[in-house]
A and B are shown apart, each in its own frame.
Chain A
Amino acid sequence: MVIVPKHASQPRRPLVEHPPGKIAAATPVAHARTNAELEQLLAERTIERDDVARDEALAELARTNAELEHRLAERTIERDDVARDEARAELARTNAELKQRLAERTIERDDVARDEALAELARTNAELKQRLAERTIERDDVARDEALAELARTNAELKQRLAQRTIERDDVARDDALTELARTNAELKQRLAERTIERDDVARDDALAELARTNAELKQRLAERTIERDDVARDDALTELARTNAELKQRLAERTIERDDVARDDALAELARTNAELKQRLAERTIERDDAARDDALTELARTNAELKQRLAERTIERDDVARHDALAELSRTNKAEEQLRLHAGELEALNSELESFSYSVSHDLRAPVRAVLGYTRAIADDYGTLLDEEGRRLLSVVEGEASRMGDLIDDLLAFSRLGRQPMANILVNMTSLAREVTAEQILASEGRSLIDIADLPAVRGDRVLLRQVWVNLISNAVKYSSKSAEPQVHVWATREETRTVYNVRDNGVGFNMAYAGRLFGVFQRLHRSDEFPGTGVGLAIVMRIVQRHGGTVWADARLGEGATFSFALPTGGEE
Chain B
Amino acid sequence: MSDIDDVEVLLVEDSRHDAELMMRALAKCDVNSKLHWVQDGVDALEFIRCTGAYDGRSFDQRPKLVLLDLKMPRLNGLDVMRELKSDERTKTIPIVVMTSSNETRDIRESYQLGANGYVTKPIQSADLAAAIAHIAAYWLRINQVP
A and B touching (Cβ–Cβ under 8 A): yes
A358 CB-CB contact with B under 8 Å: no
Q: How far is the CA of A367 from the CA of B24 in the complex (A)?
A: 19
Contacts of A555 in B (CB 8 A): none
A410 CB–B CB distance under 8 Å: yes
Give Cα A375 to B28, complex, Å: 14
Query: Which B92-146 residues have C-beta < 8 A from chain A?
Result: 99-104, 121-126, 128
Please pick, from A363, A367, A372, the residue contacting B21 in the complex, using a CB distance under 8 A. Answer: A372
A134, B128: Cα distance in complex, Å: 99
A374 within 8 A of B: yes
Contact with B along A367-399 (1 / 0, CB 8 A): 110111011101100000000000000000000
CB-defined contacts of B128 to chain A, threshold 8 Å: 371, 375
Cα distance, A370 to B100, chains bound together (Å): 11
Closest to A363 in B: B101
Q: With a CB–CB cut-off of 8 A, which chain B residues contact A363?
A: 100-103
CB distance from B6 to the nearest CB of A (A): 27
Cβ contact of A374, chosen from B24, B102, B125, cutoff 8 A: B125
For A324-338 the 0/1 string (1 means CB < 8 A from B) is 000000000000000
Contact A367 B17 (CB under 8 A): no
Q: Interface code B28-62, partner A: CB below 8 Å = 1, 0 otherwise?
A: 00000000000000000000000000000000000
- Give the residues in chain A near B24, CB-CB below 8 Å: 375, 379
A407 at the interface (CB under 8 A from B): yes
Pick the residue among B18, B104, B122 that contacts A372 (CB under 8 A). Answer: B18
Interfacial chain B residues near A372, Cβ < 8 Å: 15, 17-18, 21
- Please tell me if the beta carbons of B103 and A407 are within 8 angstroms of each other in the complex: no
Given A372-B17, A375-B17, A379-B24, decide whether A367 and B123 contact each other with a Cβ distance below 8 A.
yes
Question: Is B71 among interface residues, defined by CB-CB distance under 8 A?
Answer: yes
Complex: A22 Cα to B109 Cα, angstroms: 93
The yes or no answer to A360 lying at the interface (CB within 8 A) is yes
Contacts of A195 in B (CB 8 A): none
A12 beta carbon closer than 8 Å to chain B: no
Q: Would B100 and A368 count as touching, CB distance under 8 A?
A: yes
- A360-B125 contact, Cβ under 8 Å, with A371-B18, A375-B21: no
Look across to chain B and name the residue whose beta carbon is closest to the beta carbon of A415: B102
Per-residue B-contact encoding for A243-278, CB less than 8 Å = 1, 0 else: 000000000000000000000000000000000000
Nearest-Cβ distance from residue A5 to partner chain B, whole angstroms = 34
Query: Please, how many angstroms separate the alpha-carbon atoms of A376 and B100 in the complex?
Result: 17
| Chain A 86-113: CB-based contact to B (< 8 A → 1; otherwise 0) | 0000000000000000000000000000
Q: How far is the CA of A368 from the CA of B13 in the complex (A)?
A: 12
A285 to chain B, nearest CB (A): 64
A370-B123 contact in complex given A375-B17, A376-B17, C-beta closer than 8 Å? yes
**Are A367 and B121 CB-contacts (below 8 A) given A360-B103, A375-B17?**
yes
How long is the Cα–Cα vector from A475 to B122 in the complex, in angstroms?
A: 24
Set of chain B residues within 8 Å of A35, measured between Cβ atoms: none
Decide yes or no: A360 and B101 within 8 Å by CB, A368-B15, A371-B21, A375-B128 being known contacts.
yes
Query: Does the CB pair A407–B101 fall under 8 Å?
Result: no
Nearest-CB residue, chain B, relative to A375: B21
A375 to B18, CA, bound (A): 9
Complex interface: chain B residues within 8 A of A375 (CB): 17, 20-21, 24, 125, 128
In angstroms, Cα B123 to Cα A404, docked, is: 8
Residues of B contacting A411 with CB < 8 Å?
Answer: 123
Which of A359, A364, A375, A376 lies at the interface centre, i.e. has the most chain B CB atoms within 10 A of its CB? A375
Select one of B18, B20, B125 contacting A368, CB under 8 A.
Answer: B18
A371 to B123, CA, bound (A): 5
Please report the C-alpha to C-alpha distance between residue A376 and residue B15 in the assembled complex, in whole angstroms. Answer: 14
Output the nearest chain A residue to B25 by Cβ-Cβ distance.
Answer: A375
State whether B101 touches A364 (Cβ < 8 A).
yes
* Partner of A422 from B17, B104, B121 at Cβ < 8 Å: B104
Residues of B close to A359: CB separation below 8 A: 103
A414 to chain B: closest residue by CB: B102
Instruction: State which of B102, B103, B121 has its C-beta within 8 Å of the C-beta of A371.
Output: B121
Name the B residues within 8 Å of A368 (CB-CB).
15, 17-18, 100
Q: Distance (Å) between the CB of B67 and the closest chain A CB?
A: 15
Determine whether the beta carbon of B123 is less than 8 Å from that of A378: no
Residue on B with the closest CB to A411? B123
Which chain A residues lie closer than 8 Å to B125 at the CB level? 371, 374-375, 378
Q: B124 contacts A367, CB within 8 Å?
A: no
Expressed in whole angstroms, the minimum distance between the Cβ of B118 and any Cβ of chain A is 14
Q: Which A residues touch B20, using CB under 8 A?
A: 375
CB pair B101–A374 under 8 Å, yes or no, is no
A307 to B90, CA, bound (A): 76
A364-B71, A368-B15, A379-B24 known; A374 vs B100 contact (CB < 8 Å): no
Bound together, the chains give a CA A364 to CA B15 distance in angstroms of: 12
CB contacts (< 8 Å) of A371 on chain B: these are 17-18, 21, 100, 121-123, 125, 128
Given the complex of chains A and B, what is the CA–CA distance between A411 and B121 in angstroms? 12
What separation, in Å, do the CA atoms of A364 and B101 have in the docked complex? 6
Which of A367, A378, A379 interacts with B100 by CB under 8 Å?
A367
Which residue, A360, A370, A371, A408, has most C-beta atoms of chain B within 10 A?
A371
Nearest B residue to A371 via CB reads B123
Contact of A364 among B21, B100, B126 (CB under 8 A): B100
Contacts of A404 in B (CB 8 A): 123-124
Q: Which residues of A contact B104 (CB under 8 A)?
A: 422
B residues 2-21 touching A (CB-CB < 8 Å): 15, 17-18, 20-21
Q: A364-B71, A371-B128, A372-B21 are in contact. Are A407 and B123 (CB under 8 A)?
A: yes
Closest to A377 in B: B125
Complex Cα gap A404–B127 (Å) = 11
| Set of chain A residues within 8 Å of B123, measured between Cβ atoms | 367, 370-371, 374, 404, 407-408, 410-411
What is the bound-complex CA distance between A58 and B18, given in angstroms? 113
Can you list 13 pairs linking A and B with CB atoms under 8 Å apart?
A: A363-B102, A363-B103, A364-B71, A364-B99, A368-B100, A371-B100, A371-B125, A374-B123, A375-B21, A378-B126, A407-B123, A407-B124, A408-B123
Q: Which 6 A-B pairs have the closest CB atoms?
A: A407-B123, A375-B21, A378-B125, A372-B17, A364-B100, A374-B125
Additional A-B contact list (9), CB under 8 Å, known A359-B103, A364-B100 = A360-B101, A364-B71, A364-B99, A371-B100, A372-B17, A375-B17, A375-B125, A379-B21, A407-B123
